[in-house]
Amino acid sequence: MQKKNVISNNQIKNLLVTTIIGVGILSLPSNIAVVLDNDGWIAVLVSGLLIIPFILIIDKLFKMYPNKTIFEIGEEVLGKFIFKIFLIIIAIYATITLAYSIRVFGEVIKAYLLERTPIAVIIITMLLATSYASRAEIEILGRVATMVYPILLALFIFLFLINMPKSDYTDILPLFNADFTKLPRGIMVTIFSYAGYEIIMVAYPLTDNRKDTLKYTLRGLFIVIGIYLAAFFISLSQLGVNQLKRTLWPTIAIAKEVDLPGYFLENLDGIVIALWVLIVYTSVGPLFYIGGKTLSYIFNTKSHDVFILPLIPIIYLISMIPDNIISVYDEMGRILSYFLIASIMAVPAIIFFAALIKRRRRRT
């Protein structure tokens, strides 16, 4: 019989991939091409590799405190008060990220599918639907991720295949011609696309096979990097670097560009957008869950679903703050990158180092 609260390593990997890949992938090739031209892929790769040490930190942390949840560890290592402050930062991060993602999502749907429907309707229905998932426990999210994961892979393979006939691979050149002083800025742009990996902090302690979890998690990260690189190269070879810089959402644009009437393949952006709704759903759900869980810990409630529904209006209001899509990417994106570094990088690192110090102190 299945014990409650168990996740398999495979589910953790799928959870990682589907949570990270969300709204970011639509604009990623374009945003990074603006900074680094044809060499944007370098920033994508480097950002991905930068996440590895954080995953290792988390793995180590759970090895030091086996069978404890991240909340218990944080409390033990940092003391309740400081830890709760960090959690507040994380909760704010989660809320703002949700608002950002859902706003971008709404804009895309409005642009491609539902022109006249008010964006509020699109956003609120999406939030209501995701609340159904986020009110559940993490192992349910793992199962959902496992079911959506093959769809995600299939979508990218499909995109790759349909673009093959008309791609000009020489458009990827010239390589290594960009201004490398811009690389740090490029990394700032791309690092945001890897947000979501922190879901493993919640999922780690519940795995059924502690030994291999790291292997699976890293495999998941590499798959994400691979998919991002593939998206970048496909967009680049289809659109050419200048059009890529102009296009807001190249990943959908390349599906739109397919026109093989002989094979009855026209206007494929419908399929891409339809599946993309699922992809965004699986990236918003776990984030929502983290928000709820964090708040539940701060306010000491028994379960987290009390917070989910009240968060919906808050997220909606925040998402409506920017006036238009440019300001979403610009201002909100900037605020978000600070919170991001603070919460998903600084927090695990600080907990880890504090734990190290504690251990050393205990030894002496």
Partner 1 sequence: MNISINLNENVNAIKEVLKNCDDVVYRTIEVGESSKTKTLMVFVDGLANGKVISEFAIESILKISKLNKINTESIMSNISEKVSDEFLAIHDIKEEYDLDKVIEMILIGETALLIDGSDKALILSTRGWPSRNVAEPPNETVVRGPRDGFTEIVRTNTALVRRRIRDPKLKVKSMQVGRRSKTDIAIMYIEDIASDEILNEVIRRIEKIDIDAIGESALLESLIDGNHLTPFPLIENTERPDAVAASILEGRIAILTDNTPFALLVPTTVGTFFQSSEDYYTKWPMASIFRFIRLSAALLTVLSPALYIAITSFHPGLIPSVLAFYVAASRINVPFPAVVESFLMELTIELLRESGTRVAGPIGSTIGIVGGIIIGQAAVEAGVVSPLKIIIAAVTTISFFAIANYEWALALRVIRFIFMILASILGLYGIMLGVAVLIVHFARLDSFGVPFASPFSGLGLKEGDLKDTIVKAPIQKLKFRPIFTFPKDKRRFRER
Partner 2 sequence: MKKLLVIILLFLLPFTTGCWDKVEIEQRVFVTEIGIDKNGKEEGINKMTVTYQYPNINNIGKDSGGGSSNFLITTESSSVFQAGRQFMTKVPFPFYYKHLKVVILGNEFLKEENLIRVVLDELNRDTKINKRVRILAADTTAKEIMEASFNKEQRTEGTIYATVRDNRNTSSYTTKSLADIVTDFDIAGVTLIPRISLDEKGSFVVSGGCILKNYHFLDWIDPVENKVINLINGDMVIETIDVIYEQNLISYAISETETRRDIKVDDKITADINVQVEGYLQGYTLSDKSSIENDEIIMNMEKAIESEMMKAARRTISHMKEVKADLIGIGEHISKYHPKEWDKIENDWDDIFSEVEINLNIDVKIRRIGLTR
Q: Which residues bind partner 2 (CB under 8 A)?
A: 111-118, 121, 128, 170, 173-174, 177, 239-243, 246, 253, 256-257, 259, 261, 266-267
Tokens 């989910």 map to which residue? 308
Give min distance, CB of 2 to partner 1, in A. 5
Give CA separation, 311 vs 92, 224, 294, 306, 346, in Å: 11, 29, 12, 9, 25
Nearer of residues 82 and 278 to partner 1, judged by Cβ: 278
Give CA separation, 183 vs 36, 178, 290, in Å: 7, 9, 31
Number of residues that bind partner 1 (CB under 8 A): 44
Please identify which residue in 35, 96, 133, 315 interacts with partner 1, judged by CB under 8 A: 133
Q: Which stretch binds partner 1 (CB under 8 A): 35-43, 84-92, 270-278, 331-339?
A: 270-278
On the question of a cis peptide bond just before residue 310, with omega within 30 degrees of 0, the verdict is: no
**Does residue 136 touch partner 1 according to CB under 8 A?**
yes
Q: Phi and psi at residue 268, in whole multiples of 5°?
A: -80, 0
Q: d(Cα 14, Cα 20) in Å, to the nearest integer?
A: 10
Please identify which residue in 23, 35, 44, 122 interacts with partner 1, judged by CB under 8 A: 122
Nearer of residues 195 and 280 to partner 1, judged by Cβ: 280
Q: Pick out residues in 12-31 that bind partner 1 (CB under 8 A).
A: 14
313 binds, options partner 2, partner 1, none, Cβ within 5 to 8 A by partner type: none
Q: Pick out residues in 143-162 that bind partner 1 (CB under 8 A).
A: 143-144, 146-148
364 binds, options partner 1, partner 2, none, Cβ within 5 to 8 A by partner type: none
Per-residue buried b or exposed e for 154-180, using 16+ beta carbons within 10 Å of the residue's own CB = ebbeebeebbeeebeeebbeeeeebee
Please identify which residue in 72, 168, 179, 266 interacts with partner 1, judged by CB under 8 A: 266
Q: d(Cα 224, Cα 219) in Å, to the nearest integer?
A: 9
Nearer of residues 171 and 257 to partner 1, judged by Cβ: 257
Question: Which residue type does 261 have?
Answer: P
Give CA separation, 325 vs 31, 62, 146, 312, 321, in Å: 13, 40, 32, 21, 11
- As given in the structure block, the two tokens for residue 192 are 């945001």
Q: d(Cα 234, Cα 250) in Å, to the nearest integer?
A: 9
**Does residue 203 touch partner 1 according to CB under 8 A?**
no
79 binds, options partner 1, partner 2, none, Cβ within 5 to 8 A by partner type: none
Nearer of residues 11 and 163 to partner 2, judged by Cβ: 163
Q: List residues binding partner 1 (CB under 8 A).
A: 1-2, 7-8, 10-11, 14, 109, 113-114, 117, 121-122, 125-126, 129-130, 132-133, 136, 140-144, 146-148, 261, 264-267, 269-271, 273-275, 277-278, 281-282, 285
